[in-house]
Amino acid sequence: MANKALLAAIVSLLVVIAGYLGYLAWDRHQHNVQEEAAHQRELAWKAQFLGTTPEKLQQEETPGQRAEEKADEEMAAKAVQK
């Protein structure tokens, strides 16, 4: 009898852990979607400002530039919080 209760407790704990990991994956996905949408809005604004198309700007942009801009934005956000 104790073995069945222990097994049920272990299985329910594993189900809870799996659910939490699923939630974390979904939350990360949502964050990535929001980040990409913000990047697309920023590209559209820059393209309008520079008189070109967002697609052209995206082709010209390197991954290093995007990472650098993201780091700059995070640093600015931290400075504002202080």
Give the pTM.
Answer: 0.64
Q: How confident is the model at residue 59 (pLDDT cuts 50, 70, 90)?
A: confident
User: What value does the mean pLDDT take over residues 35-57?
Assistant: 90
Beta-strand ranges (E) seen in the chain are: none
Dist. CA 23–CA 10, nearest whole Å: 20
